[in-house]
Amino acid sequence: MMNITKTIVIPARYASKRFPGKALALIEGIPMIIRVYKRLESLKKKLDCKIWVVTDDKRIYDVVDKYGYNCKMTKEHKSGTDRVYEFSTCISSDIYINVQGDEPLVNPEDVEKVIFAKEHNMGCIVGSMAFINIGEMQDETIVKVKINEDGFLTDITRKPISTIYRQCGIYAYTKQELKQFYYSCVNEVEGIELTRWCNEIKMVRIKGSHAVDMPEDLEKIKIAIQRGERL
């Protein structure tokens, strides 16, 4: 296989509706966005890839820069994927891997699995999913997904459906696929980014981790870190 260049992009914004400033929330003394970056650092050498944080907020930029990590400012966008597209117009790569900036326990093996799947499915977008947990089916903050026998997405919704999978926040795409998303005339359904694509979407099953949506989620993360666990 030819050498495929890979760039992990971590979109981060300050103005979260449910938890303003969460990207810089301290977890055991370390800002959350920095914890996400640190979790992925092993992949730089292992997979010969680069890692960047992209943000529209100078406060986040300054913190990431202080730690000596790559960070790029963008204009305001309505989604993290739109932000990744702007980044792709400045930094060249064959594959861009979008990793959410609010998952401080993200598993690098999950990211590696999505990258591997994209390298072998360059003609389609790659998304990720994990087994849904008890009690999550009725939770509309959890996006549920269904796939066909070939692993391609057939249904995605916040509503309860007959499935065993929930969406996870790791995606991989090419610059052209990002451009199609950015200029798509299709409206998002239920505020789910993947519904803006008309392309086929290959879903990869990963272990998954949980996002920090509210301040109270930080305590769960702190306890898991202290126990050496991964939610």
Backbone angles phi, psi at 34, to 5 degrees: -70, -35
d(CA 148, CA 203): 10
Q: Once rounded to an integer, what is the mean pLDDT over residues 72-100?
A: 94
CATH architecture of 6-225: Alpha-Beta Complex (3.90)
Beta carbons of 181 and 81 less than 8 angstroms apart: yes
Higher pLDDT, 185 or 118: 118
CB count, 10 Å around CB of 216? 9
Q: What is the pLDDT of residue 1?
A: 52
User: How does pLDDT run across 19-69, given as a tens digit for each residue?
Assistant: 889 999 999 999 999 999 999 999 999 999 999 999 999 999 999 999 999
Beta carbons of 126 and 151 less than 8 angstroms apart: no
Helix, strand, or coil here: 115?
helix
Task: Give the CA count within 13 Å in the CB-facing half-sphere of 157.
Answer: 11
Q: What is the pLDDT of residue 141?
A: 87
Give the domain ranges of the chain.
6-225
d(CA 130, CA 133): 9
- The answer to whether residue 117 scores a pLDDT higher than 90 is yes
Q: What is the pTM of this model?
A: 0.94
Higher pLDDT, 216 or 94: 94
What the block records as the tokens of 224 is 């898991």
Residue with token string 């879903």: 203
d(CA 118, CA 47): 13
d(CA 60, CA 46): 27
Pairing between strand 201-205 and 95-99? unpaired
Q: What is the pLDDT of residue 171?
A: 97
Q: DSSP strand E in 17-164: where?
A: 26-27, 30-31, 50-55, 71-73, 95-99, 125-131, 144-147, 153-157
Give residue 231's pLDDT band: very low, low, confident or very high (50, 70, 90). very low
- The answer to whether residue 229 scores a pLDDT higher than 70 is no
Beta carbons of 73 and 59 less than 8 angstroms apart: no
Q: Which residues have CB under 8 Å from 136's CB, separation 6+?
A: 142, 166
Give residue 148's pLDDT band: very low, low, confident or very high (50, 70, 90). very high
d(CA 126, CA 106): 17
